[in-house]
Amino acid sequence: MKYNREIGFVGFFLALYVLYFSLIETGPAKFFTAPNAQKLFYFHVPSGLITYLAFLMVVGGSAVYLYNKSEYADNLAKSSAELGIVFGFMSLASGTFWMKAEWGGDIVSRFLTDMRLASTLAMWILYVAYFVYRRQPENSIVKNNAAILGLSGMIMVPLSYLSSRFLRSHHPVIVGTEDQGSLDPSLRIGLYAGLFSFLLIYIFLFQLRMKIENLEKLILKNKMENA
């Protein structure tokens, strides 16, 4: 992409603005047990949503690869899986800190009993497995198996996203509910700015990762031709 570096800069500086906005501009949140830890909201929710986006891209890329063996689709799935793991780690870890401050109690039992936490962790571990599997030398069998594994996100992503609505979970639901409209304007500004900044950072890193992947494949191809 032509303006990828600029996208990265804008995303990074927007993230810094969200940091300033959440820590300095807004005071401690009302109606929360942990009013300071609530500020994690401005990064936790965007990173969670970007994780879903990244894993859905893996699903899409895997499906296209299985359909027409497109190398581009395979690269897309592989690159996006890495980013999904990074953003998923950020979402899960920050959520754990926030959960400990707001809800208290034992972290392990929370992850075992709350369906949102359990399904999100399971989804993340699944794509860690995908990433580990793809670290071996690539051939058509590896790519096929990886694509089948990548497709499992078709179940895992909706399961994680919808678990707090339909299964046993303490995790709040905001996006797509009546609560979204009643969000305090400051929360909304911070949330949308955070989401936009992480989206730009995702696009930047994704393009960079795709470029590296293409270069690696080009080198491999040249080596094979020279051999």
Contact between 52 and other proteins per CB under 8 A: no
Minimum CB distance to other proteins smaller for 93 or for 155: 93
Residue of 39, 78, 110, 116 interacting with other proteins (CB under 8 A): 39
Nearest-angstrom CA–CA distance, 185 and 206: 31
Coil vs helix vs strand at 152 = coil
Tokens of 45: 């929710």
Residue of 4, 10, 19, 171 interacting with other proteins (CB under 8 A): 19
Nearest-angstrom CA–CA distance, 6 and 155: 35
> Interface residues for other proteins in 64-103 (CB under 8 A)?
82-83, 86-87, 89-90, 93-94, 96-98, 100-102
Tokens of 165: 């609505």
Tell me the C-alpha to C-alpha distance, in Å, between residue 122 and each of 47, 50, 186, 227: 17, 17, 33, 43
Minimum CB distance to other proteins smaller for 84 or for 159: 84
Map residues 109-148 to x or -, x wherever contact with other proteins holds by CB under 8 A.
Answer: ----------------------------------------
Shortest distance, position 139 Cβ to other proteins, whole Å: 20
Map residues 153-192 to x or -, x wherever contact with other proteins holds by CB under 8 A.
Answer: ----------------------------------------
Nearest-angstrom CA–CA distance, 19 and 42: 8
In the Cβ-directed half-sphere of 161, how many Cα atoms lie within 13 Å? 16
Coil vs helix vs strand at 211 = helix
Query: Can you say how many angstroms the Cα of residue 11 is from the centroid of all Cα atoms in its chain?
Result: 16
Residues of this chain that interact with other proteins (CB under 8 A) are: 15, 19, 28, 34-37, 39-40, 43-44, 47, 82-83, 86-87, 89-90, 93-94, 96-98, 100-102, 107, 201, 205, 208-209, 211-212, 215-216, 218-219
